[in-house]
Chain A
Amino acid sequence: MVLLLATSAAALLTALGAVPLPAGNARPRLVGLAEATAAGFMLGVSHLLLTVGLGEQEFNTVLGAAAGALYTLLVQWYAGTTGYEVPDDLEPSQPGDSTVVRELLQSSLHSAAEGIAIGIAFVIEPRLGLLLALVLGLHNIGEGLAIADVLDRAGVPRRQAAGLCVVAKLSQVLFALATFAMSPVLARLPAVASGFAAGALAFLVLTELLPDAYRKAPKIGIAGLATAAAAIVVLLEDSLV
């Protein structure tokens, strides 16, 4: 199915992020900027989903968004990733260490939310789903860079890191398919579903991507890249609709 191909492509793009991992002092800054770009893309997607939902039913969309944000908060709390920050002076250690596990867990949760968003978009309108897969794929490059950075600092060999990134992203494909399978249910509540995805993604940006970025890169770069990335998505969605 088209959905399977699209989400797989998006997931694979994450591996791309692991490739250009630069060395040296500039790295935290670059990673931070990459995260900011990823954040911008995600915010753009969130905006798109909100717009779609609000076009249908306003209150339900906001309700869905609140549910999505709350759901993400609960998942973060349960998985112990709330307020979790990778220490700056991370020493190389054995893979399977708690840092690596946590990082991959967090990434999987991200991917799950993204997968849900793509799935919902596909249910609403296939072209919308493709657009989301494209933008989230681009976003994944930035995320992949960030993940690879953490893994590398934890001592995971380069190639293994790239592979682990993709594995973490597989939940995206899974959840996208699962969500799509629920389409009869979702089709009756498109606004709530749309809002849910929007809220979950936005909450991820606010609680994970942005704070991480601010710790690494200058805020003007972050603000600039995030705004630019979101603007690109906004323009893209306009050309679609």
Chain B
Amino acid sequence: MMGLDLSTWPPVLVVAVMGLVTALATGLGAIPFAFIRRIDERLVARADTLAAGLMLGASFGLLQEGRNHGMVQTVIGGLIGAVFIVVGERLLSDREVNFGEVSGAGAKEILLLLGVMTLHSFSEGVAVGVAFGGGQQLATLITVAIAIHNIPEGLAISALMYPKGTSVWRCAGWSIFSSLPQPLMAVPAFLFVEWFRPVLPYGLGFAAGAMVFMVLFEILPEAYESLGRASVGVHVSVAFGAMVLFQQLVG
């Protein structure tokens, strides 16, 4: 494919490298924000609302994928994800939260989203590792798919972070950080495929449920305060539609 003959590499190394590539791809999601100069409150509100749409779209895709591995487990994972957000919110609410240049409610949201994305990456890593257990052709395809999926994830993270004052490099850095569990989990998942396979739908559902809950619990209420109802509806719909289309075309 790239002139590199991967079949000569030891499989474990291939898995590790592929996992790393998918993690780095997440950083690409920060790139659009390198081109934005002015930040004002309306931009923050709009970006957050778009992020909400992206997250709903991603959750939709995750549910689709989870269906292939067991819907009930996926939904259970989803409910656990929702609870995770509630617990996280409670833990963070009593403290002064600072995240780099951001403080207060914005910092809380960022921390929660990063937490969700990072945990979710564990299950993505498992997906990559398990896929490699089924042969390299399929695995490369899945890796590319996950890498490309990571870009909008980085976009959503950056959309939440950048308008609140985080630099583009930091956005990219944190986005990549949130995906680091992918290579970390891919290797053991590859080596112990049979053990990890049943966990996958819970992981997928977890991310979906957490994101949906976060949209309903944090992002939308704030959006309605800053933007009109119709505006919120349009922003979410556009971002959702774009995300779903993207996932359909890639997956």
Which A residues form the contact surface with B (CB < 8 A)?
Answer: 47, 50-51, 54, 58-59, 62, 65-66, 69, 73, 76-77, 82-83, 199, 202-203, 206-208, 210-211, 214, 219-220, 222-224, 226-228, 230-231, 234-235, 238
- Whether the pair A223, B248 counts as a contact (CB closer than 8 A) is no
How far apart are B90's CB and chain A's nearest CB, in angstroms?
10
Which B residues form the contact surface with A (CB < 8 A)?
Answer: 60, 63-64, 67, 71-72, 75, 78-79, 82, 86, 209, 212-213, 216-218, 220-221, 224, 228-230, 232-234, 236-237, 240-241, 244-245, 248-249
- Whether the pair A82, B229 counts as a contact (CB closer than 8 A) is yes
How many Å lie between the Cα of A238 and that of B69 in the bound state?
A: 12
- Whether the pair A220, B78 counts as a contact (CB closer than 8 A) is no
- Whether the pair A83, B229 counts as a contact (CB closer than 8 A) is yes
Nearest 5 pairs of A and B residues by beta carbon: A223-B217, A223-B216, A58-B248, A238-B71, A207-B233
How many Å lie between the Cα of A20 and that of B235 in the bound state?
A: 36
Sample of 19 more A-B contacts, CB < 8 Å, known A227-B82, A238-B71: A47-B63, A54-B64, A58-B245, A62-B244, A69-B233, A69-B234, A76-B230, A82-B228, A83-B229, A203-B237, A207-B230, A211-B229, A211-B232, A214-B220, A220-B86, A222-B217, A223-B216, A226-B216, A227-B213
Name the A residues within 8 Å of B82 (CB-CB): 223-224, 227
- Whether the pair B241, A207 counts as a contact (CB closer than 8 A) is no
- Whether the pair A227, B212 counts as a contact (CB closer than 8 A) is yes
How far apart are A210's CB and chain B's nearest CB, in angstroms?
6
Name the A residues within 8 Å of B209 (CB-CB): 227, 231
A203 touching B233 in the complex, CB below 8 Å, given contacts A214-B220, A214-B221, A219-B217? yes
How many Å lie between the Cα of A214 and that of B215 in the bound state?
A: 13
How many Å lie between the Cα of A73 and that of B237 in the bound state?
A: 11
How far apart are A51's CB and chain B's nearest CB, in angstroms?
7
Q: Within the complex, which residue of B64, B212, B228, B241 is in contact with A230, where a contact is CB–CB below 8 Å?
A: B212
Q: Within the complex, which residue of A223, A228, A234 is in contact with B63, where a contact is CB–CB below 8 Å?
A: A234
- Whether the pair A83, B230 counts as a contact (CB closer than 8 A) is yes
7 A-B residue pairings within 8 Å (CB atoms):
A82-B229, A202-B240, A203-B233, A206-B229, A227-B213, A227-B216, A238-B72
How many Å lie between the Cα of A35 and that of B75 in the bound state?
A: 22
- Whether the pair A82, B244 counts as a contact (CB closer than 8 A) is no
How far apart are A107's CB and chain B's nearest CB, in angstroms?
17
Nearest residue, chain A, Cβ from B237: A69
How many Å lie between the Cα of A238 and that of B64 in the bound state?
A: 11
How far apart are A190's CB and chain B's nearest CB, in angstroms?
16
How far apart are B211's CB and chain A's nearest CB, in angstroms?
11
How far apart are B110's CB and chain A's nearest CB, in angstroms?
18
How many Å lie between the Cα of A238 and that of B201 in the bound state?
A: 14
Name the A residues within 8 Å of B212 (CB-CB): 227, 230
